[in-house]
Amino acid sequence: MSTPTNDVLPLRNEHDIVLARQHVRRLTQELGFGLVDQTKMVTAASELARNAVIYGKGGVMRWEALSDGARRGLRLHFIDEGPGITDLRLALTDGWTSGSGMGLGLSGAKRLVNEFDIETAAGQGTRVTVTRWK
Amino acid sequence: MDRIPILRMGEFLLVTIQVDMHDQLAMTLQDDLTAAVQRLGAKGVLIDISALEMVDSFIGRMIANLSRMSRILDARTVVVGMRPAVAITLVELGLSLAGVDTALDVERGMRRLRDGVEKSGVSIVDADE
């Protein structure tokens, strides 16, 4: 099969956010995710892509299809080289926002996936990795 | 320029969102609808989101804002047609859409809007029963 199992998409503007979620929708469909699981992963991707565009000043979404025995999953990395997050605990609190959002982006995305990992530091950019298994 | 059309049905406004909205489009819709409510003196707004495959916090906030703004302008908003998978995801995301009136489909939504107008005694006078 020539279908790639990983690739990178740019996240430069709000149109890229739409493209990213459409891409994630397609990937989750190809992996055989149920409708609710698809919707959760697409929504998480939308939140994290927007964070990368707005707070990270642009970045990329890297994706990889996973298989662990009979288990299949999708892992997404949202990588930006923006200002980073100084207080991670605060950023992961529901309702806290540094911008004009509702403050549900990070904390909400975390609840929509099975695995969530974030690496960030002031001036070092942010890398959020999320995984959802079928 | 991208715009979502707003239809007028008597004293109500009807919007059907059929595209995957980018953020600016959602903001434009919020502004257009609020302006239309004021300009036309609309008593209700019905937003059909049955074609939306996902609602994230940005779109959710737009819907919540719109509902609040139109209330201040003396109109009520009913959101109809939310898909079950979208509803499940919204709750886990942490967005309850508190204060947003919802109905299962357009017909029920229109009924809800009409009932609202009747209750406030604005324009409909019932015959003696």
ipTM higher than threshold 0.90: no
pLDDT confidence of residue A15: 96
Across the interface, whether the CB atoms of B56 and A50 are under 8 A apart is answered yes
Q: For chain A, say whether B20 makes contact (Cβ under 8 Å).
A: yes
Domain that residue B69 falls in: 6-116
Dihedral class, residue A125 (left if φ above 0, else alpha if ψ from -120 to 50, else beta): left
Is A39 a residue whose pLDDT tops 90? Answer: yes
Give the A window 16-55 contacts with B, CB below 8 Å. 17-18, 21-22, 25, 35-36, 38-40, 42-43, 46-47, 50
The predicted model gives B7-20 an average pLDDT of 95
Q: Which of A34-38, A101-105, B125-129 has the lowest mean pLDDT?
A: B125-129
Q: What's the total number of domains in chain B?
A: 1
What is the Cα–Cα distance from A14 to B26, expressed in whole angstroms? 11
Six token digits for residue B40? 């036309």
Pairwise pLDDT comparison (A68 vs B36), residue with the higher score: B36
Is B69 a residue whose pLDDT tops 70? Answer: yes
**CA geometry: angle at A21 spanning A127 and B69, to 5°?**
100
pTM score: 0.90
Is A17 a residue whose pLDDT tops 80? Answer: yes
Contact A118, A127 (CB under 8 A): yes
Is A71 a residue whose pLDDT tops 50? Answer: yes
Residue of A128, A121, A125 lying closest to A56 (CA atoms): A125
The CATH number that applies at residue B44 is 3.30.750.24
What is the Cα–Cα distance from B65 to B26, expressed in whole angstroms? 11
Angle (deg, nearest 10), helices B23-40 and B57-72: 10
pLDDT confidence of residue B124: 47
pLDDT confidence of residue B125: 47
**Structural domain includes residue B121:** no
Instruction: Tell me if the domain spanning A7-133 has CATH number 3.30.565.10.
Output: yes
